[in-house]
Structure 1
Amino acid sequence: MAPALSLTACHLPTYCKSQEISKENHYRLFSSDAVLNRRNLLIKSTSSLSLLGAGLTLVQPVKAEPENPEEFTSTRMSYSRFLAYLNEGFVKKVDLFENGTVAIAEIMIPALNKIQRVRVQLPGLPRELLRKMKEKDVDLAAHPVQPNVGMMLLDLLGNLAFPLIILGSLFLRSSPTNPPGGLNLPFGLGRSKAKFQMEPNTGITFDDVAGIDEAKQDFKEIVEFLKFPEKFAAVGARIPRGVLLVGPPGTGKTLLAKAIAGEAGVPFFSLSGSEFIEMFVGVGASRVRDLFNKAKASSPCLIFIDEIDAVGRQRGTGIGGGNDEREQTLNQLLTEMDGFNGSSGVVVIAATNRPEILDQALLRPGRFDRQVTVGLPDIKGREEILKVHSKNKKLGKDVSLSIIAMRTPGFSGADLANLLNEAAILAGRRGKTKITLKEIDDSVDRIVAGLEGTRITDGKSKILVAYHEVGHGICATLTPGHDPVQKVTLFPRGQARGLTWFIPSEDLSLISKQQIFARIVGGLGGRAAEEVIFGDSEVTTGAAGDLLQITQVARQMVTTFGMSEIGPWALTDPAAQRSDVVLRMLTRNSMSEKLAEDIDKSIKEIIDEAYEIAKAHIRNNRATIDRLVDELLEKETLTGEEFRAILSEHTELHVVMNRLFSTKEPVGL
């Protein structure tokens, strides 16, 4: 080590002057302490490296042996110093590795008069560098990258890791409990999603269900059958396989099913019809099998399927035909309910509000032995429902549940529950401790007609709306067969600028022609008042909703009820009206052009006659109308008693307290 150090120091002044570099850098570069003894450098490769445009020679991996036994082994050198030696022509040979980013160069060091082997980190291979090495006649060789078998295996495993994890999880989570013949689907796709309760704790009993006494009686028999099956078996009776609940939304079908579960005390499965269907073919049928296998193991038990029309739709109407997933699920449901195996001790309760679209095979006895209709409650039923939902409400002394029931024709059980809840919210918002009649009235108005809008401030518009609403009240009150006025108000709600409310005296299942015609006359009263009082050129668009309603009523009189000169014909097919939308569009209209023209003519005659009667009421009671309008503009709301009191001062009233329709829609501008 000492002779090398003294040799470098001896030649240092001359070399530094010729190369114009500092002593410190030169001394640091060629100090014997920085020289690494690497004579056994072995470079291996299995592929070739292509360098385009440089004229490089491709060589196989070779062992780099020094040509001169006295040369130094390789050390590191900066790229800038490598360029300086290259410009001077001292670079003799360059071996490129790692895709041309590392160079092992043999450089003739003038100060040492020996060849130094150095390692240079290159910034890629620019064309200028290759051209310069070619000009200097440098022996250039490129060596391909040596493959690392271990790294290759790691890369391969990394690429396959995610698919292997997915496949492994699919196998590990495959359902081993699926029934024989069912799909062994991953993630439990073939298992039923029904909620199971060994001891039902729904918190609902028959005492919590009101307004549907007939339906309750049918289900009390089923509950007794489940509790005491030997009583019925002694006389040869068998338990019903299924009960179908049919009725409009909100009438209490699901509530009744909860009450059955709470009363029977047997294992209870509950799910929706849509939970059978998945995007995978065969999943629905597998879930049906799994559900009934669990039910049979826990028999006697109850299965409640809500919205069964999602899976029980009539077969043959879908685009997929017999291979449709929904139809396969329905086929399996039919087999489980009444097939070779049977389902002894399992009672299926289903609910739907569209029974007309269900498959006939599903509705036959042996599958659904009973169809229980849960309809809208009558006035007595509404009062019983209000009693149930008002148990936890604080009502004022002025609140009468019977009056509320009278004011809410057509309300379902859900509507009545929402009514009392809205009233409680309004009472709390107004800082009251009890619900008063004011909150009940506002809640009814809000549910039926919508939220209260901005009050009318324009004088001309307010006067026009007042005459319009008084016209409704006058024509309805003076026409025999119409319901009495409940109130007339200028408070806008929803799209209506004012409203005239009518209250029926009782619920009627049969409606006469006189009552229907009176409804049309009352509906045209607003337009008649505008035309008679302000002139034909001043009528407004406020009667658009009224005209739509009375046109539909008149069309029903002609085509459905047979109350026209055409005669007692059923001119519409009820089955076609209840069928699927696509089928209804494709159904050929069998009505002749002459009959269609006669229908339109009869509808027009009914409306024209009613309109003339309405205008006659307005002309004959002009002074009374002006008096009522003045009172309405001052108070903005007139009750039915106030309205009839003013009217009776000028006219002898002959009001027949009959109900026209079971409807919640008021007449409004």
Structure 2
Amino acid sequence: MSDLRKLKVYFRLHWIKILLITLASILGIFTVIVLSAGVTAMLNLESFYKQLQFSSIPLQFFFSIVTAIIFASIYTIFHYWFFFGGGMTKLGQKKVKSEEVNIRWKEVIGMDEVKREAWEVVQLLKDRSSLQRVGGRVIKGLLLSGPPGCGKTYLAKAIATEVGLPFLSVVGSEIEGIIVGLGAAKLRALFKEARAMAELHGGCIVFIDEVDSIARPRRGDMGFGGQMSANAAVNQLLTEMDGLRKIENNVVVIGATNVDERELDPALMRAGRFDRKIYIGLPSLKDRENLFRFYLSKIKYDPESIDVAVVARKAVYKSPADISNIAREASIIAVRNKKEKVTMKEINEAMDRIDLGLKKPIEFSEKEKEQVAYHEAGHAIVAYLLHPTDDVFKASIIPRSIGLGVVSHHSRQESHIHNREYYLANIKVTLGSYVAEKLKFNTTTSGVDEDMHQAMWWAYNMVWRWGMGPSGLKGNFKALEASFGNPLGFSTPNFLSEKTKEKLDEDVQKIIQQCLQEVEGLLTKEAQLLERFAQELKNRQELDYDEIEAIFKECGKERLRQP
């Protein structure tokens, strides 16, 4: 590329700075000339008074100019920083530079389908001539959506590294500011720089993290200007991605968001703007195994102690960020325990600390310890014997931030849709604590508060939303009430008849009562198992998966398996 072309691009990007430097230079030269003339006049004067009078004029002029320059510079810098640079909102921000992005494609673990789709984008950006020969055009936008911590930003950096193009990164929340129109101005400046980089290097990638901050649907302003500014930012983004421009620039926008694309402005989602939409979900069992191997390889661990397959099964519904955090937390625990390597014990402690919270320094009385032990034993036995998909991985009566005790149970693999039996099993598991306390102590405690809340939540949704009530009433009554009851989406008490509401509430109670009867029958039948499990839990305080399995096998019990 010729030096003249580089000079033209540089001038287009920095013409304001060049103009200010030129004006300052002219002013400086003029000041020097005036000052020299004053000094010369002072030397040539004969009279002392004339010499004093004439010599003071250029000096006064010089000091006036210096004072004016100082105050004008301070005012200009502050004014530009406050109104166009974000003011106080820019403090502490750090812009990601393209040379700081160094994520290789092989370092993106798992999500093979996502990588296959993204790799096609990489190939198109690398070899644009092949696409142009058939009359095609490079995509303008790629939207990465999915839950937090699943690798959206990581994948965007890997794309930029593989393509070898300049990478301009910005967070959506940094674009908007306290001044109306600031977001649109920042977007113009961002894409101006991107087009200049594309002209110099043949292309440029603009990555907008949390793009939903500037891509929400446009609405009418409520009178304070905030929505008008947000609308202007969306309009500017629409124009920059697919506006009326004579020159087609090879600028690709990659957006990342945690929200559903239906919550974004429809004009952004159409073809010609975000042409490709890739959903990055939670990793599968195989991906979790690969992720654990990758992050464990970065620390010292005992491969004979840690079974990666077992750890991956325990980490169902964990994101890549969660898995990275588990490995990091396990290494910290190993250092605290003065160990040279991470073992399975540290991995389990790390998962407990992340999932269950920190231990609380609470001292139970013997009576309280017994009550909590039977409470958690009720959960564990019902989950083990009645739940069609979940395994019981841990039972504990050690107080933690989430409660005085806990039973951790979940499926070994992801489930994306559930039937009526699954929800009924969840209700029965939550009610196991209530029934166990009642059978053992002939009374119940306030510890069942959250359990009752969970049971009511499942039963309520089964009846009001999913058509699973025993009376036969079908329909998503909650959604209808919210959609048609009020134009703003708030529910109204007049949409459903009182008779229908009473029938729905009766269905909720029927489900709760039916589940209570089944759980009471089970725990009454398994009274010996309840006693054994509660005593083991009271003595050991924590029971892991293998210990729980051993107790049930000794009692001749097998868990319910889903057909």
Normalising by structure 1, report the TM-score: 0.67
Q: Deviation at 1:424?
A: 0.6
Cα deviation for residue 508 of structure 1 reads: 2.1
Q: How does 1:365-514 map to 2 (within 5 A)?
A: 365-396=271-302, 397-454=304-361, 456-479=363-386, 481-514=388-421
Match of 1:102 in 2: none
Aligned residues: 486
Q: More deviation in 378-387 or 459-468?
A: 378-387
When residues 608 and 345 of structure 1 are mapped into structure 2, their CA distance, relative to the original with a 3 A threshold, is same
Q: Would you tell me which structure has more helix in proportion to its own residues?
A: 2
In the alignment, the residues of structure 1 paired with residue 475 and residue 69 of structure 2 have an alpha-carbon distance, to the nearest angstrom, of 71
How far is the alpha carbon of 1:575 from its aligned partner?
A: 12
Alignment correspondent of 1:551: 456
Q: Deviation digits for residues 476-496 of structure 1, max 9, x if unmatched?
A: 222151523223222222142
2:85 & 2:425 partners in 1: Cα distance?
A: 63
Say yes or no: does 1:205 pair with 2:104: yes
Aligned 1:258-657 pairs, distance under 5 A: 258-299=157-198, 300-316=203-219, 318-320=221-223, 324-341=228-245, 344-354=249-259, 355-396=261-302, 397-454=304-361, 456-479=363-386, 481-535=388-442, 538-565=443-470, 566-573=472-479, 583-585=488-490, 590-650=495-555, 652-653=557-558, 655-656=560-561
Aligned to 1:52: none
- SS of equivalent to 1:524: helix
One-letter identity of the residue aligned with 1:386: F
Q: Which has the larger radius of gyration?
A: 1
Which deviates further from its counterpart, 208-217 or 248-257? 208-217
Structure 2 segments unaligned to the other structure (5+ residues): 1-62
**Matches of 1:644 and 1:276, distance apart in 2:** 54
Q: Is the CA contact 2:171–2:211 (under 8 Å) kept in the aligned structure 1?
A: yes
Distance 2:561 2:184 in 1: 59
CA distance in 2, matches of 1:575, 1:252: 37
Indicate if the aligned counterparts of 2:372 and 2:405 stay in contact, CA closer than 8 A.
yes
Other structure's SS at 1:394 match: coil
Q: Which of residues 127, 138, 158 in structure 2 aligns to 1:228?
A: 127
What displacement does 1:225 show?
1.0
- Residue deviations 1:533-587, cap 9 Å, x none? 111xx3101111212222222222223332223444223339969xxxx944488
Q: 2:411 is paired with a residue of what secondary structure?
A: coil
Say whether the 8 Å CA contact 2:437–2:444 is kept in structure 1.
yes
Range 347-356 or range 556-565, more displaced: 556-565
Per-residue deviation at 1:609?
0.9
Give the superposition deviation at 1:368. 0.8
Distance 1:643 1:586 in 2: 46
Residues 311-345 of structure 1, C-alpha deviations (whole Å, 9 max, x = no match): 11111155247972121121111111111117531
The answer to whether the 8 A contact 2:465-2:479 is kept is no
- Give distance in 1, aligned partners of 2:240 and 2:478: 38
> Closer, same or farther in 2 for the Cα pair 1:389/1:568, shift >3 Å?
farther
- Kindly tell me: are residues 465 and 173 of structure 1, through their superposed partners in 2, closer, same or farther at Cα, counting changes over 3 Å? closer
Q: How high is the sequence identity, in percent, across the aligned residues?
A: 35
Aligned amino acid, residue 313 of structure 1: R
For residue 357 of structure 1, report the CA deviation from its aligned partner. 2.9
How far apart, in 2, do the equivalents of 1:232 and 1:567 lie?
A: 56
Q: How does 1:95-244 map to 2 (within 5 A)?
A: 165-170=70-75, 195=95, 197=97, 200-244=99-143
Query: Residue 478 of structure 2 aligns to a residue in which SS?
Result: coil
Change (3 A) 1:221 1:592: farther
Is this contact kept in 2: 1:453–1:492, CA < 8 A?
yes
User: Within 2, Cα distance between the matches of 1:605 and 1:654?
Assistant: 26
Equivalent position SS for 1:573:
helix
CA distance 1:409–1:561, shift in 2 (3 Å): farther
Q: Deviations over 1:287-326 (max 9, x none)?
A: 2222212211222110001111211111115524797212
Native 8 Å contact 2:391 2:411 kept in 1: yes
Bigger strand fraction: 1
Q: Give the distance between the partners of 2:432 and 2:69, measured in 1 at CA.
A: 77
- Residue of structure 2 in register with 1:126 after alignment: none
CA drift of 1:171 comes to 5.0
Alpha-carbon distance in structure 1 between the residues aligned to 2:301 and 2:155 = 27
**1:194/1:269 contact within 8 Å kept:** no
Q: Is the 8 A contact 1:313 1:357 kept in 2?
A: yes
Cα gap change, 1:607/1:308 in structure 2, threshold over 3 Å: closer, same or farther? same
Instruction: Give the partner amino acid of 1:370.
Output: R
Q: 1:289 to 1:655 in 2, by over 3 A?
A: same
1:348 and 1:162 map into 2 onto residues whose CA distance is: 46
Change (3 A) 1:264 1:542: same
**In 2 relative to 1, CA 629–195 (structure 1 residues): closer, same or farther, beyond 3 Å?**
closer
Match of 1:3 in 2: none
- Which residue number in structure 1 is paired with residue 49 of structure 2? none
Give every structure 1 segment of 4 or more consecutive aligned residues whose post-TM-superposition deviation is greater than 6 Å.
160-164, 172-175, 183-189, 574-577, 586-589
The answer to whether the 8 Å contact 1:478/1:617 transfers is no
Tell me the residue number matched to 1:44: none
Tell me, what secondary structure is at the counterpart of 2:477?
Answer: coil
Give CA-to-partner distance per residue, 1:578-603, whole Å, 9 cap, x none. xxxx9444889744433333332222
Residue deviations 1:497-552, cap 9 Å, x none? 222222423222222221221121111111100011111xx310111121222222
Query: After alignment, is 161-170 or 268-277 more displaced?
Result: 161-170
In 1: Cα distance, 2:120 partner to 2:494 partner: 46
Contact 2:212–2:257, Cα closer than 8 Å, also in 1: yes
1:479/1:318 CA distance change after superposition, 3 Å = farther
- SS of 1:572's partner is helix
| Structure 2 residue matching 1:324: 3-state secondary structure | helix
CA contact (8 A) 2:122 2:162 kept: yes
- In structure 1, C-alpha distance between the alignment counterparts of 2:387 and 2:226, rounded to whole Å: 57
| d(CA) in 1 for partners of 2:454, 2:255 | 35
CA apart distance, 1:456: 4.2
Helix, strand or coil at the partner of 1:484: strand
- TM-score w.r.t. length of structure 2: 0.78
Whether the aligned pair in 1 keeps the contact of 2:481 and 2:492 (CA below 8 Å) is no
| Cα RMSD after superposing both structures | 3.3
Three-state SS of the structure 2 residue aligned to 1:486 is strand
Partner of residue 21, structure 2 = none
Out of 243, 246, 262, the position equivalent to 2:145 is 246
Aligned with 2:424: secondary structure?
helix
Give the whole-Å Cα distance in 2 for the aligned partners of 1:315 and 1:409.
38
